[in-house]
C-alpha cells in the first residue's frame, strides 16, 4: 500500500515532500512541488488478520517542507476505510463541510456531506 501511494503522489509532480508513518523519514519528491503530504498507509495494520476494517490517514500541507508547519497550513486531510465498503472522507480547509465518498463499481460517489459549525460573527 505504501509503495502504491508513494508512486501516485510522486506522479503528480505537485508534492515536494512526503512522509509515511512506517519509515518516519521525509522523502524528497518533486523539487518544484509546493505541497507536502503525510500518510499512514495502513492504519491498524496489526489487526489485519482479524478481518476488521483498516484504513489510510493523510494530510496535505501548503508547504514544500514539514518543519515548523502549523495547522493553518493544512489544505486537506482525510481517511479511507477499507472493509465491506471502501469509504473516503475528506475535509478541505476552505470548506465548512466534510465530504464522504463510497467506492461503487470503481467510481467514487458522494454519499454524505457533513456540515460543520461556523464561528459566530461579532456583534
CATH of the domain at 15: 3.30.540.10
Tell me, yes or no, whether 67 lies in a domain: yes
- Taking residues 13-26, report their average pLDDT: 86
Sequence length of the chain is: 123
Q: How far apart are CA 36 and CA 16, in angstroms?
A: 6
Angstrom distances, CA of residue 53 to CA of 49, 66, 81, 92: 10, 29, 6, 24
Tell me, yes or no, whether 123 lies in a domain: no
- Taking residues 51-57, report their average pLDDT: 79
The total of structural domains in the chain comes to 1
Higher pLDDT, 11 or 119: 11
Q: Which range marks the domain in which residue 28 is found? A: 2-115
Tell me, yes or no, whether 120 lies in a domain: no
pLDDT computed for residue 117 by the predictor: 63
Is residue 29 scored above 80 in pLDDT? yes
What's the predicted TM-score (pTM) here?
0.78
| pLDDT tens string 66-122 | 899 988 899 999 999 888 889 999 999 888 889 999 999 999 999 999 886 666 676
Amino acid at each position: 500500500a505504501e509503495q502504491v501511494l508513494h508512486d501516485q503522489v510522486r506522479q503528480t509532480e505537485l508534492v515536494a515532500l512526503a512522509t509515511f508513518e512506517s519509515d518516519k523519514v521525509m522523502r524528497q519528491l518533486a523539487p518544484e512541488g509546493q505541497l507536502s503530504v503525510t500518510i499512514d498507509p495502513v492504519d491498524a495494520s496489526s489487526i489485519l488478520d482479524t478481518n476488521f476494517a483498516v484504513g489510510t490517514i493523510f494530510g496535505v500541507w501548503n508547504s514544500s517542507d514539514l518543519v515548523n508547519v502549523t495547522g493553518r497550513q493544512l489544505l486537506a486531510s482525510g481517511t479511507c476505510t477499507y472493509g465491506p465498503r471502501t469509504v473516503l472522507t475528506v475535509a478541505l480547509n476552505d470548506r465548512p463541510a466534510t465530504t464522504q465518498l463510497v467506492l461503487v463499481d470503481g467510481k467514487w460517489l458522494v454519499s454524505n456531506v457533513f456540515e460543520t459549525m461556523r464561528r459566530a460573527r461579532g456583534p
